[in-house]
Chains A and B, each alone.
Chain A
Amino acid sequence: GENVEQHPSTLSVQEGDSAVIKCTYSDSASNYFPWYKQELGKRPQLIIDIRSNVGEKKDQRIAVTLNKTAKHFSLHITETQPEDSAVYFCAASVDNYGQNFVFGPGTRLSVLP
């Protein structure tokens, strides 16, 4: 089955700097890769996603890149702000049934003022 690894487990950056979180997956059939942000005590919320037919997607300060050959994808946050502090989860899925939806272990991002 699918296995998703995520690095680093914790990340601290200064406000205004960039943050990068990387994930790798094992199942070459995976073709959908969302990212979730979970603030303390709240539910995970989708912030950006990418499909396998696209190499990069950007939404304001957030971007995701995908390398299907290497089976890894990354989240990039530019000009970080204190409200970006949260736990970020990557996931990999095959677009048929959600039982193949596998999450990474999470990255705790701290943006220092």
Chain B
Amino acid sequence: SQTIHQWPATLVQPVGSPLSLECTVEGTSNPNLYWYRQAAGRGLQLLFYSVGIGQISSEVPQNLSASRPQDRQFILSSKKLLLSDSGFYLCAWSVIEEFGNTIYFGEGSWLTVV
């Protein structure tokens, strides 16, 4: 079966520091991969999606970037964090299935920028 791993689960970072969140998917090949952000009590904001290695599309201009160095690995990065980057970050994956292109989420990473 397919599983998705995301880490770290929580982190507290000072303003201006770098960020790296990592996500890997197991049990599937060539998945679509996504990074979402959720501010406290808010909805799901799509940040990046990728349909293949090295193929990254950005949905929202920001100081974040994403990379996909391997088929099942997706990394979210920032060179300098802002206070507004605080939130719950969710990695997700999907494959085109017979009955729908369902998205499955990782456990999430809580980021607090102080």
Contact = CB atoms under 8 A, between A and B. Distances in A.
How many chain A residues sit at the interface, stated as a range, is 20 to 34
B44 interface: yes
A85 B104 CA distance: 21
Given A34-B102, A95-B100, A89 B44 contact: yes
A25 to B, nearest CB: 15
Given A89-B43, A98-B94, A105-B43, A49 B101 contact: no
Given A42-B108, A46-B102, A106 B96 contact: no
How many chain B residues sit at the interface, stated as a range, is 20 to 34
Interface string A14-58: 000000000000000000101000000011111001010000000
Nearest to A45: B105
Contacts, number: 60
Contacts of B101: 32, 93, 95-98, 101
Interface string B27-49: 00000101000000011101001
A104 B96 CA distance: 21
B63 interface: no
A104 B44 CA distance: 8
Contacts of A43: 90, 105-108
11 contacts: A43-B90, A43-B108, A44-B105, A49-B100, A89-B43, A93-B101, A96-B101, A97-B51, A99-B57, A101-B101, A106-B43
Interface of A: 32, 34, 42-46, 49, 51, 89, 91, 93, 95-99, 101, 103-106
Interface of B: 32, 34, 42-44, 46, 49, 51, 57, 90, 94, 96, 99-108
Across the A-B interface, give the 9 residue pairs with the lowest CB-CB distance, nearest first. A43-B105, A32-B100, A98-B32, A105-B43, A103-B44, A98-B94, A106-B43, A43-B108, A99-B49
